[in-house]
Chain A
Amino acid sequence: DQQVKQNSPSLSVQEGRISILNCDYTNSMFDYFLWYKKYPAEGPTFLISISSIKDKNEDGRFTVFLNKSAKHLSLHIVPSQPGDSAVYFCAASGTYKYIFGTGTRLKVLA
């Protein structure tokens, strides 16, 4: 039972445009959500988080939106850069245990 789903395994975006990565979850007890970026042969790198009391959090080029009623969150990257090409994981937590999605591979084309 996949509690956190990233339904798009891959996404290609032109440099300078917006990248939108989506994530859906099923457990209404989750109250903290994070996005991680992962390069091959490296560990995930924390990008941005949001708690359930907010619906938006922004950090530079990265914005995370949370829609609790739809149990959906998204990560917007604007403008996208070639260095953003990586696998992006969303993770959800109700306690200390993170439940990860399966990841979306983003490719930013120069």
Chain B
Amino acid sequence: NAGVMQNPRHLVRRRGQEARLRCSPMKGHSHVYWYRQLPEEGLKFMVYLQKENIIDESGMPKERFSAEFPKEGPSILRIQQVVRGDSAAYFCASSKQGAAYEQYFGPGTRLTVT
């Protein structure tokens, strides 16, 4: 009865490198959400995806960030040319359906940019 899986749990990147964060939703869930938590702040919505579709990416920075949820395999959040301000905890959540359904969160990936 695996929950939402995220890997890696910790990721260290130098400025200018790329970061790839992976998320496997709970079994039976086809809706994936990415959130970012900066220190001392709540979680901020970034993007909502269903299989092969981006439904809402309004919370994602316009540049350097992209997300996908292919037909096969995990959802990927990709950050190109990372900067120090990208250092944060990135959480993925999944739900069985969309609106008004509980979202179940993974353990997060803590990204540190040096």
Interface-facing stretch out of B13-21, B36-44, B60-68, B73-81: B36-44
Complex contacts, B42 vs chain A, CB 8 Å = 4, 6, 89, 100-103
B102 and A96 form a contact (CB under 8 A): no
**Chain B nearest Cβ from A84, distance in angstroms:** 18
What is the 8 Å Cβ interface bit string for chain B, positions 33-52, against chain A (1 contact, 0 not)? 10100001111110010000
CB-based contact A96/B33 at 8 Å: yes
* Size bracket of the B interface: 20 to 34
B108 near A32: Cβ-Cβ < 8 Å: no
In the complex, the answer to whether A97 meets B102 with C-beta atoms within 8 Å is no
Within 8 A of B (CB), among A74-110: 89, 91, 93, 95-103
Question: How many inter-chain contacts with C-beta < 8 Å in the A-B complex?
Answer: 66
Contacts A89-B42, A93-B100, A101-B42; A43 near B107 (Cβ below 8 A): yes
Residues of B within 8 A of A34 (CB): 102
Q: Are B56 and A43 in contact (CB under 8 A)?
A: no
| A16 in contact (CB, < 8 A) | no
- Tell me if A31 and B100 are in contact (CB < 8 A): yes
Alpha-carbon distance A49/B95, docked complex (angstroms): 14
Closest to A94 in B: B99
Whole-angstrom distance from the CB of B41 to the nearest CB of chain A? 6
Asked if A46 contacts B102 (CB within 8 A), the reply is yes
8 tightest CB-CB pairs across the interface, nearest first?
Answer: A43-B105, A100-B42, A100-B43, A96-B98, A102-B42, A32-B100, A44-B105, A43-B107
Can you give 5 contacting A-B residue pairs, CB < 8 Å?
Answer: A44-B91, A95-B99, A96-B33, A96-B99, A97-B45
